[in-house]
Amino acid sequence: MRNGRVVWRDETDWLKLRETPAIVDLDLDGAPDLIGDGLVIAQRPEAGRQWIGFAFVGRSLSGSTGVLEDETGGRRAFAMASDGRGQPGNLLTIGLGANARPRRLVVHDGASGCEHVVDLRGQECGRYYQVTVE
């Protein structure tokens, strides 16, 4: 409840699941999907919200941090982690809100200490980009 209003109701009995639900982007639409016990529990993208995503290939960036900078000077920080099963979490989705224009992505590689910079000027929102990490 929020301010006396019900904002979410368990209509799928997901509170009775045997495993902990996970949040992933199953259909690569930028909206987080809630899954558990082999079921998709919720897929509710917010209308009018922009996002951009990155698939890092080459090696794991688990333990790395970084920022996404936009044209107006706004910054969004993130951290890369494993997927909870020991696999590297190399897929990153960043919500941008409305009217955002990403300028660059800076990743501080936790393993090597290197900094990876990706120029995003002119790139479209609402899709994933592949970034090779050596």
Residue of 86, 91, 120, 103 whose CA lies nearest to 33: 91
Q: Are residues 54 and 90 in the same domain?
A: yes
Q: Under a CB-based contact definition with an 8 Å cutoff, are residues 30 and 92 in contact?
A: no
CA distances from 31 to 2, 6, 27, 58, 96 (A): 22, 22, 9, 25, 11
Q: Are residues 65 and 100 in the same domain?
A: yes
Q: Under a CB-based contact definition with an 8 Å cutoff, are residues 25 and 41 in contact?
A: no
Tokens representing residue 71 in the block: 């044209």
Residue 7 has a pLDDT of 58
pTM of the model: 0.67
Q: Are residues 8 and 64 in the same domain?
A: no
Section 20-48 average pLDDT: 70
Tokens representing residue 75 in the block: 């910054």
Among 25-39, 68-82, 108-122, whose mean pLDDT is lowest?
25-39
Residue 95 has a pLDDT of 81
Measured between alpha carbons, how far is 87 from 24 in angstroms, rounded to an integer? Answer: 14
Residue 120 has a pLDDT of 93
Q: Under a CB-based contact definition with an 8 Å cutoff, are residues 19 and 35 in contact?
A: no
Q: Are residues 88 and 115 in the same domain?
A: yes
Q: Are residues 59 and 71 in the same domain?
A: yes
Q: Under a CB-based contact definition with an 8 Å cutoff, are residues 61 and 109 in contact?
A: yes
